Chains A and B, each alone.
Chain A
């Protein structure tokens, strides 16, 4: 399995403060993703990256920015957190092996914006 870690696991912050979540992988995968999970909505894509400095917007990108300065790290930043950004955030990477593909997920970050 791919080595993927997210930090922090839990975060409580106040409205208006900046927040950065980190996703780290150990196996040099090209594609990395940030999703948010909310009840009734499943997982929705925020941003994704297809290489160093190559990123693009997903379905729910407003209020979020990302950076990927190294292959192994993909950062998600909430420039000014709002209560609507309270959610569980998952990082994921994609891996292909023969005819099978998989997405591997980090453990998730529970973010609460008060």
Chain B
């Protein structure tokens, strides 16, 4: 079973609108972390946002927010006021294992976001 599931292979959004990219995860570890990364066509991996499993509030970083619903095991990325430069692949990832001693991040398959003018 996949530990990270991103069900949207591709998404389209109009410039200046908000968009939500879905991510669900599966773990039995009580201590875990969730990440979102952006990969533009240049290929670099850009860190966007992090949420720890014990964090009570949803993480926010500028136009990015992580909608963390622990009971549903979902960690959706919300991008507000989309810009043309937001067109990229987006990856959700989960880090398990601090309680077990290892620290292993697992990635989803990604969602391709295209922002239309």
A-side residues, CB < 8 A to B, are 31, 33, 35, 40-45, 48, 50, 56, 58-59, 88, 90, 92, 94, 99-105, 107-108
Residues of A within 8 Å of B44, CB to CB, are 105, 107-108
Binds A, one of B45-53, B66-74, B79-87: B45-53
Contact: B50 with A102, CB < 8 Å? yes
6 further interface pairs, Cβ-Cβ under 8 Å (given A45-B104, A92-B45): A40-B109, A43-B93, A59-B106, A103-B93, A105-B45, A108-B43
Contact: B106 with A45, CB < 8 Å? yes
Residues of B within 8 Å of A99, CB to CB, are 52, 55
Residues of B within 8 Å of A42, CB to CB, are 4, 6, 91, 107-110
Residues of B within 8 Å of A58, CB to CB, are 104
Contact: B50 with A107, CB < 8 Å? no
B-side residues, CB < 8 A to A, are 4, 6, 33, 35, 37, 43-45, 47, 50, 52, 55, 91, 93, 95, 102-110
Residues of B within 8 Å of A88, CB to CB, are 43
**A2 to B35, alpha carbons, bound, how many Å?**
17
B105 to chain A, nearest CB (A): 6
The 30 sampled A-B contact pairs (Cβ below 8 Å) are A31-B103, A41-B109, A42-B91, A42-B107, A42-B108, A43-B91, A43-B107, A45-B104, A50-B103, A56-B102, A88-B43, A90-B45, A92-B105, A94-B95, A94-B103, A94-B105, A99-B55, A100-B50, A101-B33, A101-B50, A102-B47, A102-B50, A103-B35, A103-B37, A103-B45, A104-B47, A105-B44, A105-B45, A108-B43, A108-B45
Residues of B within 8 Å of A104, CB to CB, are 47
Residues of A within 8 Å of B102, CB to CB, are 50, 56
Which chain B residue lies CB-closest to A100?
A: B50
Residues of A within 8 Å of B52, CB to CB, are 99, 101
B82 to chain A, nearest CB (A): 22
Residues of B within 8 Å of A59, CB to CB, are 106
